[in-house]
Structure 1
Amino acid sequence: MIRKARIEDVKIIHRLLIHQEEHDGLVLPRSYSQLYSHLRDFYVTTDENDNVTGCCALNIIWENLAEIRSLVVLPEHRGKGLGRKLVDACLSEAVTLGIFKVYTLTVQTEFFAHLGFVNEEMNALNQKVFADCLNCPRFPDLCNEVAMVMAL
């Protein structure tokens, strides 16, 4: 099941993001403060017992731009289409809000290309996009992420 994140999900989302950063470095970790401040950005997937199995966030950047970020699905729940469902939930919310351009910074280019995202030059994105980059330990010299966009 996909649902909006709730306050009791924050510690689990935090563990998901920290665990993924430690093991495969695919997402940036987020502090508890960041997660509480942006809780309304998050969707989660849950199993039949309402245990969180994945998360994804839609972060509004500007009036015409939002970011898909913090996409994580627990390894034992991958391959079930949950990542796609999480991204779809975020894209649907973007359209509901009247935002018709969404981007992601990712190393999972094949996954996002399959969803319809296309490569974009980093410099083509608004400079506000890079606010999180400044706090990343891989910035600037070790960054391996690719900007991808989707027009909705």
Structure 2
Amino acid sequence: MSSYIRKAMMQDVKAIHALLMSCASKGQLLPRSLSSLYSHLRDFHVLVDRDDERVLGCCALTIFWADHAEIRSLAVVEELKGRGFGRKLVESCLSEAVTLGVYKVFTLTYVSGFFARLGFEEVEKDVLPQKVWTDCLNCPKFPDCDETAMLLVM
């Protein structure tokens, strides 16, 4: 099977949503609503099957402030996990961050080992920009967040 990474398009939203909801049901990440995905579509990179354009993975880069962005909603279909596609999706987002001139990228994650292998370091949540917490207000786990905050300074 051959695949490639590209920016998400409108026709990808329902597949991204299904993938994220599948991962959320397993406790791997937090769910995202369809309306949130439509309004943040430009944040997403997708891994697609070259033959049928099926979405096999996704990752978002969300700009939070002049010097901070967040990696969020990283998901890969079960049958492709462990084959480097998650890493490629994150690297695609990090490349975009550099292109945009953003050199501090953080994530809130349940898989800190994965992000540590990419150079992210664990930090206290209070070092993240205050704007992050406006998103957290809508989270079902607020204020008892159980994710690990990690930061990469490029």
Q: What corresponds to 2:152 in structure 1?
A: 150
1:117-148 deviation per Cα after TM superposition (whole angstroms, max 9, x unaligned): 0011101111111222212212223x211110
Partners of 1:77 and 1:51 lie apart in 2 by 13
Partners of 2:107 and 2:11 lie apart in 1 by 26
Partners of 2:68 and 2:28 lie apart in 1 by 22
1:33-85 deviation per Cα after TM superposition (whole angstroms, max 9, x unaligned): 11111111000001232211000000000110000000000111111110000
Q: What corresponds to 2:75 in structure 1?
A: 72
| Larger deviation, residues 12-21 vs 64-73 | 12-21
Q: What corresponds to 2:140 in structure 1?
A: 137
Q: 1:52 and 2:18 equivalent?
A: no
Partner letter of residue 38 of structure 1?
Answer: H
Q: Structure 1, unaligned stretches of length 5 or more?
A: none
Q: 1:117 and 2:120 equivalent?
A: yes
Q: Structure 2, unaligned stretches of length 5 or more?
A: none
Partners of 1:132 and 1:108 lie apart in 2 by 20
Q: What corresponds to 2:12 in structure 1?
A: 9
The size of the alignment, in residue pairs, is 150
After TM superposition, which residue ranges in structure 1, 4 or more long, deviate above 6 angstroms? none
Q: Secondary structure at the match of 1:127?
A: coil
Q: Among residues 38, 42, 45, which one is paired with 1:36 in the alignment?
A: 38
TM-score (norm 1): 0.95
Partners of 1:74 and 1:131 lie apart in 2 by 29
- Percent identity of paired positions between Structure 1 and Structure 2: 59
1:63-115 deviation per Cα after TM superposition (whole angstroms, max 9, x unaligned): 10000000000111111110000000000000000001000000100000000
Alignment check: 8 A CA contact 2:29 2:110 kept: no
Partners of 1:40 and 1:82 lie apart in 2 by 20
Partners of 1:54 and 1:4 lie apart in 2 by 12
TM-score (norm 2): 0.94
Q: What corresponds to 1:83 in structure 2?
A: 86
Partners of 1:137 and 1:72 lie apart in 2 by 19
